[in-house]
Amino acid sequence: MSQTTSARTVDGSQTALAQHEIEAFGESLQGELLQPGAPGYDDARQVWNGMIDRRPALIARCTNAGDVIAAVNFGREQGLLISVRGGGHNVAGTAVCDDGLMIDLAPMKRIEVDPDARTVRAQPGVLWSELDAATQAYGLATPGGIVGSTGIAGFTLGGGIGWLSFKHGYACDNLIAADVVTAAGQLLRASDEENADLFWAIRGGGGNFGIVTSFEYRLHPLAEVLAGPVFYPASEAESVMRFYREFTADLPDELAIEAGFMTNPDGACLAALFVCYSGDPDEGERIIEPLRSFGVPVADMIGRMPYTQLQSMFDDFFPDDRQNYWKSSLIDALSDDVLDAIIASGRAMTSPYSMVFLQNPHGACHRVPRDAMAYYQRSAPYNMLILANWVDPTESDEHIGWARDLFRAVQRPDSDQVFLNFLSGDEEVGRVRSAYGENYDRLVEIKTKYDPANLFRMNQNIRPMA
């Protein structure tokens, strides 16, 4: 009797894969095909959120677009559940599946900067620390994540907010073309000129429409930034958060400020303002002077620094071995009630690694028309991030409860405003629909055209028409 491997199908049932078919698939790849027990299998299945512990039947470690095409074709022909991994940072853990086929793009690391055209092409295994280093070598940058180990792929496909987004837009606003392997195994160029519907959809529509094997971004000159945190005792939180509300009412595009709560190594809770000014630093010093003369900080660490230094400043706060449960809520106005709820929750964080933050979307990312691409949320001036982060899995209920309590206190029941990149796995269906607002119907049409069987469903899923 020939040997078989049990695997999960796209509709949730089990199928038996013949070993000779697995071997033929493995031989068709230039990268490795890993099965449970193989060296490297456990490393490859691990994603950033330590809560996620899934075991794919097969992991295809792709090295180029040809490998991705082979993997998509094998997965589709065998009817397998497929997950796609870029940088592995998605908190919901959508990069890895149980018993299905994980298409792992992490080995795809090529970066090509064109300094004259001010563009960069990057493969989907590239992380923001790597892309920033490559582009800053030429004094250029594109808006990226604020933690270096975040993957460019999932980040860009979900929108992508960073320090430079208010001057230059979200990551999806700076995408000028992409190569995409569709569910049919075709490699398509997506840009304003070619397959424009697909290009519209991948800019904010997540991994629903195919697997991107190359991203091409617009770059912007950037020498240094005036940036860093200012910390205050948590006892001053009321005045810090009210100052933040007033100061962020009308910021220039060059200035990004986040406000929040974290715990210092001695266990003291601190309120904090995090600043990045990406224009002329002298002008920046003048503009942020009211912030620097406000209150009596514990520490003021703002200074001029290379952009890459800012981009690695928070990396140590986000190691990849902890338990994480995140929620986010776009907010129209910081009422006293909202601020008081955030302050009370910030002071009552159940883990020293948890944080609460407010971001202040404004400027360039709000000037793009809502129908220009799939990404729709372009009006709320604040995004609240609730980041529950802890070590011991037996404490999960307590820390998840803390995050949910704050979310419930702040989120209006009728709110349709969602930042998809920060969704946890337990809330996707209804919130995904509302995140796309009036763009949703067009997304369903494009999904139906490029992925009618919903092969790419381990994501913030847009379902095709039946």
Among 45, 56, 74, 155, binds ligand FAD (CB under 6 A): 155
Q: Nearest-CA neighbor of 204 among 96, 365, 333?
A: 365
What does DSSP assign to residue 51?
Answer: T
Measured from the CB atom, the residue of 154 and 297 that comes closer to ligand FAD is: 154
| Contact call for residue 358 and ligand FAD (CB under 6 A) | no
| Contact call for residue 390 and ligand FAD (CB under 6 A) | no
Phi, psi of 153 (to 5 degrees): -70, -65
- Strands of the sheet with 58-61, listed across from one edge: 33-34, 58-61, 101-104, 82-85
Measured from the CB atom, the residue of 243 and 457 that comes closer to ligand FAD is: 457
Among 34, 72, 146, 358, binds ligand FAD (CB under 6 A): 146
Per-residue binding string, ligand FAD, 410-449, x by CB under 6 A, is -----------xx---------------------------
Measured from the CB atom, the residue of 57 and 105 that comes closer to ligand FAD is: 105
- Dmax over CA atoms of the chain, in Å, equals 78
Provide, rounded to whole angstroms, the least separation between the CB of residue 154 and ligand FAD.
2
| Contact call for residue 85 and ligand FAD (CB under 6 A) | yes
| Contact call for residue 311 and ligand FAD (CB under 6 A) | no
| Contact call for residue 87 and ligand FAD (CB under 6 A) | yes
Among 60, 72, 95, 240, binds ligand FAD (CB under 6 A): 95
Q: Nearest-CA neighbor of 422 among 388, 457, 379?
A: 388
Among 10, 32, 45, 48, binds ligand FAD (CB under 6 A): 48
Would you call 466 helix, strand, or coil by DSSP?
Answer: coil
Q: Give the count of beta carbons closer than 10 Å to the beta carbon of residue 464.
A: 21
Q: Please report how the helices 65-78 and 19-28 are oriented relative to each other, as an axis angle in degrees rounded to 10.
A: 160
Q: Nearest-CA neighbor of 276 among 237, 248, 304, 241?
A: 304
With contact defined as beta carbons under 8 Å apart, do 307 and 224 qualify? yes
Q: Nearest-CA neighbor of 246 among 162, 334, 331, 163?
A: 334
Among 52, 302, 330, 458, binds ligand FAD (CB under 6 A): 458
Q: Nearest-CA neighbor of 150 among 180, 106, 120?
A: 106
Q: What angle do CA 265, 266, 267 make, to 5 degrees?
A: 90
Q: Nearest-CA neighbor of 272 among 246, 249, 298, 309?
A: 298
Measured from the CB atom, the residue of 155 and 200 that comes closer to ligand FAD is: 155
Token reading at 255: 């200035």
**Which of 114-122, 207-215, 279-287, 337-345 is the region at the interface with ligand FAD (rule: CB under 6 A)?**
207-215
Measured from the CB atom, the residue of 207 and 381 that comes closer to ligand FAD is: 207
Measured from the CB atom, the residue of 187 and 298 that comes closer to ligand FAD is: 187
| Contact call for residue 88 and ligand FAD (CB under 6 A) | yes
Alpha-carbon span 205 to 420, nearest angstrom:
9
| Contact call for residue 145 and ligand FAD (CB under 6 A) | yes
Q: Nearest-CA neighbor of 111 among 84, 90, 140?
A: 140
What does DSSP assign to residue 205?
Answer: S
| Contact call for residue 260 and ligand FAD (CB under 6 A) | no
Alpha-carbon span 384 to 329, nearest angstrom:
5
Q: Nearest-CA neighbor of 385 among 274, 270, 259?
A: 259
| Contact call for residue 271 and ligand FAD (CB under 6 A) | no
Provide, rounded to whole angstroms, the least separation between the CB of residue 46 and ligand FAD.
11
Per-residue binding string, ligand FAD, 318-337, x by CB under 6 A, is x-------------------
| Contact call for residue 7 and ligand FAD (CB under 6 A) | no
Token reading at 316: 């140590």
**Which of 19-27, 84-92, 130-138, 342-350 is the region at the interface with ligand FAD (rule: CB under 6 A)?**
84-92
Measured from the CB atom, the residue of 163 and 402 that comes closer to ligand FAD is: 163
**Which of 53-61, 144-152, 296-304, 433-441 is the region at the interface with ligand FAD (rule: CB under 6 A)?**
144-152
The footprint of ligand FAD (CB under 6 A) covers 47-48, 83-91, 94-95, 105, 124, 145-147, 150-151, 153-155, 157-162, 206-207, 211-212, 318, 421-422, 458-459
